[in-house]
Amino acid sequence: MSHADNPGVTVAAGLVRGLRVCLLLTVRLALLGAIALRCSLSPGKGRFAPRRDAWLLATVTALGPAFVKAAQILSTRADVVPRHVARVLSTLHAQVRPLPLGGATRHFGPGLRHLLRDDPGLAARPPVAAGTIACVYRATLTDGRTVALKVRRPGIARQLTTDLAVMQALARLAARLPPLRGVPVADITRQLAASLRGQLDFDRERRSLRFLADNLAEEPHVRVPAVYDDLCGPEVLVMEYLDHLHRPTTAGTDGEQAAVTALRAAYHMLFLDGFVHCDLHPGNLVCGPGRDVTLVDAGFTVRLTPHARDKFTDFFHAMGLGDGRACADIVLSTARPGPDTDTDAFRRDLAALVDSSGTTAATFDLMDFAVRLFALQRRHGLYADPQFVFPILSLLVLEGTVRSLGPHLDFRAVARPYLTIALMERAIAQAQRRQEPG
């Protein structure tokens, strides 16, 4: 991104925003204290928990878009936050105002402005989708093509950059508090910030969509909208508009076939490409019509290192074999151990967890497995490598869609061909390296 598209944070702006955030947090914490006191003096039990959860959602929303987006990502980090907190944060939705296209057309390059069909109502047209960072509009080109225009919200880059700087400063302070000592708060916050900055970079998203389209072309029934590179710019992404996205498949024979297609696409990305789409909710992964699946919005994607891809492949393979001790050894080779980590006890506990897990969507609850896995890591003083967490995050988000369409799908059976290919390709590459001279 150019300097104009990635504005820095001035000391004055960061200080003012930081003071406002601290004031807001002080007021909100005082309110939480008052709620706790009132509940303790009131008859009956169980009244504080729902009020505390409502307080948490209201506080994050009041902090602004960057904090809402970070909390949404954090809700998937069951290795970091308790399960009930993750569940509450997962319900967060940024209260964003749909923005008519209006002045956003100033971001359009001359080629796009010239090709847009003359439409007096275009500037006032509401978006078909509105997000914290961007809005998506439907438009028609002079050659008759219908396109989707994803346009960044005015000023969002500077706003997010400032808030992320404040967030990281607060994380450094929080890391010094006794309850958080030993927890990699600063590292986790840096990971969240990097994920959010990546969603601002439309050039990166354009390349990711192109990568997905090329690499998933061999997967039957998987579609990625075409990107019109010559019409894109730093603040606008121009893509093929797909009408069928508004007619998703429901449960039934076609639904189960669509769920299989979705799983195959995810496994292809994870095990063969080392590419993780971390936001595979029903809005970004649309099942239908029939067995077709369409992937859109590649803003939150991660490229795994070859090492991380191999480790996750080995872990999934060992889990399918029921080899809990091998799973434990893989986790131990990727996680950050603490001074009191008991590796033997961790191996025993993880082996028991793997032995007790099921295989179909009806019996294998990935969220429950991940929560218990991460709880084991916390209990034994281990913190997961984010590169190892992102693939689990991707599958967690996908699981809800798969479960609703194909409740009896065997997750491991669908994964087996991709695991076999990945392991064979790695073995061939290793053999070739051994045969190279020198």
Helix (H, G, I), strand (E, B) or coil at 75: coil
> Between 48-63 and 65-74, two packed helices, what is the crossing angle to 10 degrees?
130
Q: What is the DSSP string of 147-206?
A: EEEEEEPTTHHHHHHHHHHHHHHHHHHHTTSGGGTTS-HHHHHHHHHHHHHHHH-HHHHH
Check residue 206 and give its pLDDT. Answer: 93
Distance, in Å, from the CA atom of 392 to the CA atom of 207, rounded to the nearest integer, reads 23
Residues facing residue 146 across a β-bridge: 140
Q: Pull the structure tokens for residue 323.
A: 């080899």
pLDDT, residue 253, reads: 57
Task: Count CB-CB contacts under 10 A for residue 372.
Answer: 19
Distance CA 278, CA 293 (A): 16
Report how far residue 214's alpha carbon sits from residue 295's, in angstroms, rounded to the nearest whole number: 13
pLDDT of residue 1: 41
Are residues 271 and 421 in contact, defined by beta-carbon separation less than 8 angstroms? yes
Nearest to 322 by CA among 350, 346, 345: 350
Q: Is 277 exposed, middle or buried (0-12, 13-18, 19+ CB in 10 A)?
A: buried
pLDDT score for 270 = 93
Q: Which DSSP string do the residues of 261-320 spell out, in sequence order? A: HHHHHHHIIIIII-EEES--STTTEEE-STT-EEE---SSEEEPPHHHHHHHHHHHHHHH
* Contact of 272 with 281, CB cutoff 8 Å: no
Per-position pLDDT tens, the chain of length 438: 433 444 555 677 788 888 999 999 999 999 999 988 888 887 665 578 888 999 999 999 888 878 888 887 777 666 667 778 877 887 776 556 777 777 667 778 777 877 777 776 777 778 888 888 888 888 888 888 899 999 888 888 888 888 888 888 888 888 787 766 666 677 778 877 887 888 889 999 999 999 999 999 999 999 999 999 988 988 899 999 987 665 555 555 577 888 899 999 999 999 999 998 888 877 788 887 788 899 988 888 888 999 999 999 999 898 888 888 899 899 888 887 777 788 889 989 998 888 877 555 456 677 678 778 878 887 887 877 777 878 887 887 787 778 778 777 888 788 889 999 999 999 998 888 888 775
- Name which of 288, 236, 271 is nearest 418 in CA terms: 271
Give the span between the Cα atoms of 339 and 347, in whole angstroms: 17
Report whether 152 contacts 235 (CB < 8 A): yes
User: What is the distance between the alpha carbons of residues 409 and 332, in angstroms, rounded to a whole number?
Assistant: 30
**Do residues 398 and 280 touch, judged by C-beta distance below 8 A?**
yes
Q: Is 351 helix (H, G, I), strand (E, B) or coil?
A: helix
Element (H, E) at 143: none
Using alpha carbons, select from 63, 83, 65, 66 the residue that is nearest to residue 75. 83
